[in-house]
């Protein structure tokens, strides 16, 4: 399942982050991937241990905690601290699949990457190219969102970032270990949850909605790994 989550960050938060990132020290993005990824990756990133990266990553996580749509779709159990990248001057990232397991610096903890997330920090009109292109069984999808918006998609998907030919594309990106490992089951739970919420807004609580809510939680209880 791919899902666009609008308005994760406010315009003021985006501006603040961009100001902090403009003054930060970036490194070659190839330093953070293995030999295969390094062959197709051309961008810059903030080091994972950078104080700026850690502070802004904490702000991203706080914003996500206020997003019920994100929670419903990702069902997050653990999250890799958000990272930050920058593409410009033809920078790109060729076809790849994200690694199945990520370590969290300084903790000794490892997370399974079920869901990949990209949070856009640059307005689409400020750069040419830079589309996130995700391929799945339904075809190829190009994503270029307003600043402050997030896209999430299965980490099992082949994806790439098209070359940026004008301006700079700045994003935060991270991975989620979901309570529900299987994307198909997460999708069903998401659809059930959103329909329950829509019915509740339309008719209020009733016995049928209580029953559907119980069905949702029983499925989550059956499928979750916590």
| Residue pLDDT, tens place only, 77-135 | 999 999 999 999 999 999 999 999 999 888 889 999 999 999 999 999 999 999 999 99
Q: Give the per-residue pLDDT at 78.
A: 95
Q: How far apart are CA 87 and CA 132, in angstroms?
A: 12
Q: How many CB atoms are located within 10 Å of the residue 62 CB?
A: 10
For residue 133, give both structure tokens.
Answer: 């292109």
pLDDT value at residue 35: 66
CB 177 within 8 Å of CB 77:
yes
Residue 161 near residue 42 (C-beta atoms within 8 A):
no
Segment (H or E) for 129? strand 128-129
For 198, the token pair is 């829509």
| Residues of the chain above pLDDT 90, percent | 89
pTM for the full model? Answer: 0.94
Distance from C-alpha of 197 to C-alpha of 213, rounded to nearest angstrom: 9
Q: For all residues of the chain together, what is the average pLDDT?
A: 95
Per residue in 5-42, pLDDT tens?
Answer: 999 999 999 999 999 999 999 999 876 666 666 678 89
Q: Is the dihedral of CA 98, 96, 18, 47 positive or negative?
A: positive
Angle made by CA atoms 42, 19, 146, in degrees to the nearest 5: 65
């Amino acid at each position: 399942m791919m899902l666009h989550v609008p308005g994760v960050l406010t315009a003021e938060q985006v501006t603040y982050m961009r100001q902090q990132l403009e003054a930060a020290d970036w490194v070659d993005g190839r330093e953070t991937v293995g030999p295969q990824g390094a062959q197709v990756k051309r961008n810059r990133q903030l080091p994972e241990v950078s104080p700026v990266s850690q502070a802004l990553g904490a702000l991203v996580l706080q914003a996500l905690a206020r997003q019920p749509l994100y929670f419903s779709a990702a069902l997050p159990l653990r999250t890799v601290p958000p990272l930050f990248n920058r593409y410009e001057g033809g920078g790109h990232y060729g076809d790849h699949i994200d690694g199945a397991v990520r370590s969290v610096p300084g903790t000794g903890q490892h997370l399974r990457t079920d869901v990949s997330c990209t949070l856009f920090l640059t307005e689409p009109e400020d750069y040419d190219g830079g589309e996130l292109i995700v391929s799945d069984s339904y075809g190829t999808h190009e994503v270029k969102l307003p600043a402050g918006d997030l896209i999430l998609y299965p980490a099992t998907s082949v994806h790439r970032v098209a070359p940026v030919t004008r301006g700079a594309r700045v994003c935060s990106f991270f991975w989620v270990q979901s309570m529900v490992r299987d994307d198909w089951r997460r999708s069903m739970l998401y659809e059930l949850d959103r329909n329950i919420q829509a019915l509740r807004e339309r008719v209020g609580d009733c016995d049928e909605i209580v029953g559907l809510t119980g069905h949702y939680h029983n499925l989550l209880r059956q499928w979750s790994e916590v």
